[in-house]
Structure formats: structure tokens, C-alpha cells
Amino acid sequence: MNNAPSDSHEYAAMLQPMDEYNQSLLAHVHPLDWVDPEPAPCYDLVVIGAGTAGLVIAAGAAGLGLGLKVALIEKNLMGGDCLNVGCVPSKSVIRSARVVADMHGAADFGIHAPEPIAIDFAAVMARMRRIRAGISHHDSAARFRNLGVDVFLGAAQFVDRQKVMVNGKCLRFKRAAIATGARAARPQLQGLEAVGYLTNETVFSLTECPQRLAVIGGGPIGCELAQAFQRLGCAVTLIHKNDHLLDREDAEAAAIIQQQLQQDGVNLLLNVQLERVEQGETGKVLHYQQNGIQNGIQKGGSGSITVDEILLGAGRSPNVEGLNLEAAAVEYDRRRGVIVNDYLQTSNPHIFAAGDICMDWKFTHAADAAARIVIKNALFAPFGLGKSKLSNLVMPWVTFTDPEIAHVGMYAAEAKAKGLETNEIKIDFRAVDRAIFDGETDGFVKILHQKGIDRILGATIVARHAGEMISEISLAIVAKQGLSTLSSVIHSYPTQADAIKKAADAYRKTLLTPRTQSFLKLLSKLSLF
């Protein structure tokens, strides 16, 4: 859910081009002929927002077969950012961009790709729209109606602590969940509104590749899309306010991605403060001030670049506007979103929240996990007994650049802040046979464990499929299994996941102290007697 127009007929203008794929998508996620049901006298649960968190809450509560009366309200497109303007379209485009990269590198494998490589950008985007439309039925209004959920397509506004209005109809509830998500943050940059810009909500409507694209923000979204559009034939300049990309990730991991983006041809402008934007004769002109060192060279002073399009990829803003949260006695902050406790309960004990509207973890899988906590705590924790905590989740995440960065658990600095002494084991992919075969040796597995105890605290993986590999370590942390257990797990050869076993074996070797060696020597003598 976001700040899109409330008139459903305007959605057709948002989903461009209105081809067969976008028509199919719209028919599923916001059918123009939808008729809201008559409200029940009182709902057990009203869910506001039909993104990942809202859909999981609504489907989970209605699908238990307990006769719970559930309502779901969405003013924009069901499926939220993930389906419509987030994970699904972005990863589809990234996959096409990866094919281009493979073709450019094919000569290393004895394969000679045609030069120049013909990139049909319109076909890339059509493929994305086809994939998106093809899976949209899972999030459709009709599907949720068939699950027994009363679906209302319109803007929700609280009336009081236990009532919400939508399309002139009043819905009374025993419990409610706010899952209205977030949108791309708009920087306060002079001239930006006048010249126009793209966000994740509009960039996937492109049918022609911009010749010159400025991406503002060197976080995960900015890096992913900058690399993808560069590979698809766009001249990309990535602008970041700090001295290196992906500031929140492991520094060694971020350095690999930064180097890869430069190899792909992305122009990096680091330590940059944007000052203003204006429309020039040949494009949109961004004026900036740069300070600090870039690539070992002292940079400073003012500069400018001219581009055809500007893509915002710097942060997210919670969708709190228009909900009339004051009437429901729900505390919120315009930057942080709805304020919740560790049980995802708001200042109104009848109302919960989940997903990007209230959480620092702004991932689809985090919203899914939080939604399950809301179901339990809102509906199945009488007198507050047996409630689940958000802080108990072990949360992995992935930046889907090429290679990917995947992380779970703590970083070393976090562990130190908690007073934990740690050791770190790092296995470089140059030592992993499958990575050598695949030509994917730029990366590593790094596992942080508690000193003196076989307890995994966290891990970072940099690999082309790091997101597929991190789950093994996530499982070990959740199951409270250490590196000794991972060492005992047989990993198929040759796989890149063998790097995890190598790290675990390296830990086992640290246990071979002089005292242990003496004991093993005695055992061997007795065994050979």
C-alpha cells in the first residue's frame, strides 16, 4: 500500500504499457469492477494493507478454519511492493542483466558470443511483466474472497479505537493490523520535482532503456538497479553520500561489490552531496559537491552530470499518512512509522502492525515472519500468555547484486557491543573447487563465532548464489547448532556450499590443542596395541 491515487481507474495509468500482461495483473490485484461486500457487524480482525504482511495475516487468520471474520483493506494494488514494484519485477530484470554479463564473459569458457550483444530492452521488460502477471493470482482479490476474507478496495481511515472507515462503510473490529508498508523516500533536493524522477514504483514501467541514468543511493536497491541497468545498455552513474557503497554490510563484502560495479562500467560518485537539479538543453543536470578520497585520489569541489533519467534508491518512508492514526490512539513517527513493542503491538492494545510500516527489517521475508507473530499475538495469546517476540527472530537478508551478499546474525561490532569475545573464520572462494570451475572466485564465506564456545553468532557470504547458501547457517543458528555440527554434515562435491563445510572444518582444527593431541596419541596407541 502506498500513496497512489485513490481512484482505481487511475491505476491503469500507473501500469504502463497497458498490454495484456498489465491488464491481467490489474484484473487480479485491483479489478476495476470490484464491488465491496457489506461489512459484518463486527470483525475479529481487520487488516489494513495487502502487501506481504497484510496478505499473510489475512490468509493465515482466515485459513485456520475457525470461523474467524476477517476483513482486508487495500487502496492501491494487492500484493504490495513485492509483487508489483519490488522483488518480483526487480529480480526478473536482474536475471536478464545477468545473462548479458555471462555473454560478455563467455570467452573465458571457450564460448564466443556475438559482438556487439543485441539487448532488446523492451523484450526484457515484457518478460518481467509476463512473469509478474503470471504469479499475481496468488495475491488476487478473488483468491482472498474465496478464502473467506471480506476484501475492500479503498482508502482506510480510523474513526476511533475500534472502528475504521473505507469507501463510506464502517468496519468495527476486535483486533486490527496495520500493514501499509513504505515507499521510496524523496530527498529534499532543489528542482527534483520540476525535472521529474523515477522510483521503484515507476522504473518498471519503462519500455525504452535510458541512455544515461543517475541512481541516487548506494544501498541495496541502488546497487542492484545500477548494475542491472548498466548491463542492459544504460550508462549509469551511481551517486552516494558516503565514501563506499553498502555501508551497512561487511566492509570486505561491500568492497567486492563496489569493484564489480566499476568493472561493469558503472560510474561511481562517492562522498557526494547533491545540491540541485535543473533541466538542461540535453538532459537533466545534477549539481553536486564532492569531498574526500575516491580510488586513492583526493576529490573536492563542485561538479555536475547530465542524464536522461534520475532513479531514487535512497531509503524508504513509512505510509502513515491518511490513516487518521490519532483517532485510534496509535502512536507513530513520520520517519520511523508506527511505533510497536516487541510483540508488534501498538499503543492501542487492540491494534498491531507488521512489515515496512513499523520495522527496520524492510524485507518481504521479514514481513512474512512478523505477520505470523501478529496472528499468534493478536488472536491466540489470551491474557498475554504465550506471546512471540520480534527480537527472537533470526533474520537473514540478501543484496541481489552479482555477486550477491547474504548475511545473518551479528556483525563483529554488534557482538563486541554486547560484550562477547569472538573469533572469525573466512574461506575464500579461490579455495573452493566448484567456484573455480564456475569462474566465480570473487567472494567468501565468513563465519563469526563466540570465542571458547561452539556458538555461531553470524555469517556473511559473498557469492553468485549467496542467498541460496545462507539458509544453512540460519538454520544452524535457529537450531542452536555450532560449527562442529556443520562439520559433520556431508556436503555434495563439487558445490560452492562446500565453503561452509571448509569453514566448519577449520573451526574443528582449532580444537586440536596440545592436550587434545596427547589424548588422541594415547587412544591411537591403545587402539593399535
Over residues 500-516, the pLDDT tens digits come to: 999 999 999 888 777 77
In the 8-state DSSP scheme, what is residue 136? G
The strand pair at 43-48 and 70-74 is best described as parallel
**Residue 39 assigned as binding residue:** no
Same fold, 8-108+116-185+317-381 and 192-312: yes
Q: Is the pLDDT of residue 406 over 80?
A: yes
The strand pair at 156-160 and 444-450 is best described as unpaired
**Residue 31 assigned as binding residue:** no
Q: What distance in Å separates the CA atoms of residue 103 and residue 114, rounded to the nearest whole number?
A: 8
Q: What distance in Å separates the CA atoms of residue 140 and residue 45, rounded to the nearest whole number?
A: 19
Q: For 14-18, 215-219, 250-254, 518-522, which range has the lowest pLDDT when averaged over its residues?
A: 518-522
Q: Residue 36: exposed, middle, or buried by beta-carbon count in 10 A (0-12, 13-18, 19+)?
A: middle
Q: Is the pLDDT of residue 294 over 70?
A: no
Question: pLDDT category, 528, cuts 50, 70, 90?
Answer: confident
Q: What distance in Å separates the CA atoms of residue 364 and residue 277, rounded to the nearest whole number?
A: 33
**Residue 218 assigned as binding residue:** yes
**What's the confidence (pLDDT) of residue 5?**
37
Percentage with pLDDT > 70 across the chain: 95
**Residue 414 assigned as binding residue:** no
Q: Is the pLDDT of residue 293 over 90?
A: no
Neighbours of 81 (CB within 10 A): 29
307 to each of 206, 229, 242, 264, 268, how far by Cα in Å?
Answer: 16, 14, 21, 18, 14
**Residue 264 assigned as binding residue:** no
Q: Which residues of 8-22 are buried (b: 16+ CB within 10 A; e: fewer)?
A: beebeebbeeeeebb
Q: Are 487 and 506 in contact (CB under 8 A)?
A: no
Q: Is the pLDDT of residue 307 over 70?
A: yes
Question: pLDDT category, 339, cuts 50, 70, 90?
Answer: very high
Return the CATH number of the domain spanning residue range 403-514. 3.30.390.30
**What's the confidence (pLDDT) of residue 300?**
73
**What's the confidence (pLDDT) of residue 296?**
61
Q: Is 223 helix (H, G, I), strand (E, B) or coil?
A: helix
Domain borders along the chain are 8-108+116-185+317-381, 192-312, 403-514
Q: Is the pLDDT of residue 524 over 90?
A: no
281 to each of 87, 198, 289, how far by Cα in Å?
Answer: 35, 20, 22
**Residue 201 assigned as binding residue:** no
> What class is the 8-108+116-185+317-381 domain?
alpha beta
Question: pLDDT category, 321, cuts 50, 70, 90?
Answer: very high
Q: What distance in Å separates the CA atoms of residue 70 and residue 62, rounded to the nearest whole number?
A: 6
- This model's pTM is above 0.85: yes
Q: Is the pLDDT of residue 441 over 70?
A: yes
465 to each of 31, 52, 149, 229, 468, how far by Cα in Å?
Answer: 37, 24, 37, 20, 5
**Residue 234 assigned as binding residue:** no
Over residues 66-117, the pLDDT tens digits come to: 999 999 999 999 999 999 999 999 999 999 999 999 999 999 999 999 999 9
CATH homologous superfamily of 192-312 equals FAD/NAD(P)-binding domain (3.50.50.60)
**What's the confidence (pLDDT) of residue 204?**
96
**Residue 467 assigned as binding residue:** no
Q: Is the pLDDT of residue 125 over 50?
A: yes
Residue whose cell numbers read 534508491: 313
**What's the confidence (pLDDT) of residue 246?**
97
**Residue 41 assigned as binding residue:** no
Average pLDDT over the chain, rounded to an integer? 94
**Residue 224 assigned as binding residue:** yes
**Residue 322 assigned as binding residue:** no
Residue among 417, 450, 444, 424 at smallest CA distance from 432? 444
What does the pLDDT average to over 287-304?
78
